[in-house]
Amino acid sequence: MIRKILTSTALATCMAAPALAEDATGVLNNYSDIAAATYEDSLIAAQRLKETIDAFVAAPTAEGLTAARAAWLAARVPYQQSEVFRFGNAIVDDWEGKVNAWPLDEGLIDYVDGAYGGPTDENMLAALNVIANPTFSVSGEDIDASMITPALLEETLHEADGVEANVATGYHAIEFLLWGQDLNGHGAGAGARPYTDFIQGDGCTGGNCDRRAEYLTAATDLLISDLEWMAAQWVEGGDARETLLADPDAGIVAMLTGMGSLSYGEQAGERMRLGLMLNDPEEEHDCFADNTHNSHYYVGAGIQNVYLGEYVRIDGSLVSGPALADLVAAADADLDTEMRTRLAETMRALGRIKSAAEAGFTYDMMLERGNEAGEALIMGGVNSLVSQTQSIERVVAALDLSSIEFEGSDSLDNPSAVFE
Amino acid sequence: MLRFVATCAALALPAATEAQTPSEIVVTALDRHVLPGYAALTEATGALAAAAEADCAAESLDLRSTYHTAFDAWMGVAHLTFGPAETDNRFFALAFWPDARGATPRGLSQLIANADPVVEDADAFATVSVASRGFYALEFLLYDDTVSAAGDPAYRCALVRAVTADIDLTAQTLRTDWEGEFAGLMRDAGTNDRFQSPEEALRLLFTSLDQGLEFTADLRLGRPLGSFDRPRPNLAEARRSGRSLQQVTLSLEALSELASILSAGQPELQAALAMAFDTALDRAAAVDDPVFAGVGDPLGRIRIEGLQVQVGDIRDITRADLGPALGVAAGFNALDGD
């Protein structure tokens, strides 16, 4: 019986194959165009962030810090929409940890509140405080950190001692330097680092203001060079695009893998369900800035972008072309309707979290033990992400791509990759 | 002995010489694996809650023995992370692990330090962080030197009773949901919206097998192994109660049973899988290191790595041969992501 099904499916596939391959190439080119635009937008927004940070560090004022924070928030909009490119594309997955690693033990970087604690079983460097310490040792090796450079952050500090929570680079390191710890617990309010933490000489608060400014500048420069590199991988002739086009079937699977792995294990599981179940405001994706509602929303939008083959750039222009939706509609029109509906339901659920947060019911408050309204909002997002994952699995089956493996680079073939 | 267990599991199944339909396989899995697993779990959690009522002292032999029995029973269904286990986060409410940020000891210490009255009401206790609920939290209350001696003994006693009652209630609800609704949806797959075809129900079971193997290889074994230069014995699962190796063995036995059911229509493949599981179970028996304390010792490490490699090989067979034979591929699982 099963053999029969397989044989008939195989026959159907053979007949449909040439048309699908042609269509798939168009879809993959548009997908690559969207990725290129999303990363280029992330780069442009990061360059704007750098302008505000340079100005702020040169002459620290409260207004300057506010401008830098606003630029960081704007920079997250395109970047979060790029996360859907991660899991299916090894070139992105291998790189992503440098720019968006989370959660982090922020005591590695700078001063923290006493309640934060010190070194832990999991991380000996959890409270290292590089900004206050120009020399220290990591895994028995003496480190000279008298100059805080992009190379020091990237090569020595990031994931030091093999611990993933030692996040020295990327958006969240910059976020911590701009906002500081959010000490409001489940109350409203984000981190409240004073602008005086960056004053050179008299008036410096928090100590080592020169090194703090050096760190912020180095981390921002590094973010820009990392984004430049990734944007280049997606233009015509870039490695990421060429890899997909070389094997269109595998390319389509990469698209779906990115959508499904991000929807289920990462977004619904790690980022939303876990924080809620732990009632832990530290388990928020953009916890220092209290920007988690936006972080979730734009992750959802990125997934929808890939299915519909559309992306609105940060200058308002639209990138669009042949879409995964077209392939699905040709194979099974009802399934295409179902997939579109599920994606829209997710955006509605994530939109509710965003609008409630923007109106003052912040994500930290939603996470509090016994807060039924917050739980309902967050579980609404989780449940719709779980439902859309089921539809994504149906799409994989309907396009008869199921013999190709899911998952990104972390696998049993290389189990050490998960823990190093 | 272990070999015997896996072989028996294979023999106990209908001698299927003919291929089975996806529906038939799903029904067999429900009747011989899923539903009996939950029935055994609720029996054991009921005994656990009763033992805590009778004597809540951390060193109570009866309490400790029912803790182990109930945890053993949980391992029979711990790979079934979908459906009723996903509803209301029940899976994590019973089994929150790994705990990379130390939320379990921190959460329990806070409850104890504040003598939080939430333990007095079962509905209220169900809103507590999952890190302070379930089997792994109970392990800290019974076996961790610090937590088991913290604060007021009377409060700790109430907390132990709240945790065990909550485990039992969650397990009972899981069973009720499975028997009352979800098993029916799987049986009638193709006639409801949750399962639009029998293959979808089969895919979910196949994904559970695949994810269970991944969990055991990457987390139960991979976390304590760490890297050669940086082994991490303190990250071994349930090491305080000496269960780390036991967890691996029990998960392999449960997954072996499921694999045998899924492959029943393919006798050669079924035999190959049984042999691969037997090899893994033999290697587990040879480890002789109940909490993987020897991951930093070259000889001890080799044995544990050998076990991990074998679990990986089973997963390869599953993905390369069993999936195609069933006409399904593993769906997305909770371990996707970073």
pLDDT tier at B118 (50, 70, 90 boundaries)? very high
Q: What pLDDT does A419 receive?
A: 30
Q: What is the DSSP secondary-structure string of A242-256?
A: HHHHHSHHHHHHHHH
Is residue B200 within 8 A of residue B189, CB to CB? The reply is yes
CA distance B21 to B24: 5
Cβ distance of A262 and B101 shorter than 8 Å: no
Taking 70 as the pLDDT cut, the residues of chain A under it are 1-22, 121, 402-420
Q: What is the CATH number of domain B5-326?
A: 1.20.1420.20
Helix locations, chain B, DSSP H: 2-11, 22-29, 35-54, 61-75, 90-94, 103-114, 122-125, 134-143, 153-177, 183-187, 198-214, 222-225, 244-262, 267-287, 298-317, 323-326
Q: B292 in helix, strand or coil?
A: coil
Taking the C-alpha atoms of residue A128 and residue A149, their distance in angstroms, rounded to an integer, is 17
Our CA angle for B177, B182, B188, nearest 5°, is 150
DSSP assigned state of B150:
-
Check A2 against B129: CB less than 8 A apart.
Answer: no
Is this complex scored with an ipTM above 0.90?
no
- Smallest Cβ distance to A261: which of B265, B326, B337? B337
- pLDDT, chain B, mean: 93
Measure in Å the smallest separation between the Cα of B336 and chain A Cα atoms: 5
CA–CA separation, A283 vs A295, rounded Å? 13
Instruction: Please report, for chain B, the start and end positions of each structural domain, with discontinuous segments joined by +.
Output: 5-326
| Three-class SS state of A135 | strand
The tens digit of pLDDT for each residue in A254-294 reads: 999 999 999 999 999 989 998 899 988 777 778 899 999 99
Task: Say yes or no for a CB contact (<8 Å) between A393 and B203.
Answer: yes
Size of interface A-B (CB pairs under 8 A): 140
Residues of A whose CB is below 8 A from B217: 412, 415
Is the pLDDT reported for residue B1 higher than 50? Answer: no
Cβ proximity of A284 and A331 under 8 Å: no
Q: Could you report the per-residue pLDDT of B195-205, keeping only the tens digit for each?
A: 999 999 999 99
pLDDT of the residue at A225: 97
What does the DSSP 8-state code read for residue B322?
I
**For residue B248, what pLDDT is reported?**
98
Q: Nearest CB to A278: which of B103, B225, B323?
A: B103
**Which residue of B lies nearest to A387 if distances are taken between CA atoms?**
B194
Looking at residue A405, its pLDDT comes to 54
Task: List pLDDT tens digits, range B256-273.
Answer: 999 999 999 999 999 999
Which residues 6+ apart lie within 8 Å of B245 measured at CB?
Answer: B284, B287, B289, B290, B291, B292
What is the per-residue pLDDT for A188?
Answer: 82
Distance between first and last Cα of chain A: 45
Q: What is the DSSP string of A15-83?
A: HHHHHHHHHHHHHHHHHHHHHHHHHHHHHHHHHHHHHHHHHHHHS--HHHHHHHHHHHHHHHHHHHHTG
What is the pLDDT at residue B18? 60
Give the CA count within 13 Å in the CB-facing half-sphere of B181.
Answer: 10
Separation of alpha carbons A350 and A373, rounded Å = 14
Rounded Cα distance between B21 and A420, Å, is: 43
Beta-carbon contacts of residue A355 (< 8 Å; ≥ 6 apart): none
Per CB-CB distance under 8 Å, the chain B contacts of A89 are: none
pLDDT for res A138: 87
* B336 lies within 8 A of chain A by CB: yes
Q: Encoding tokens for residue A69?
A: 């924070």
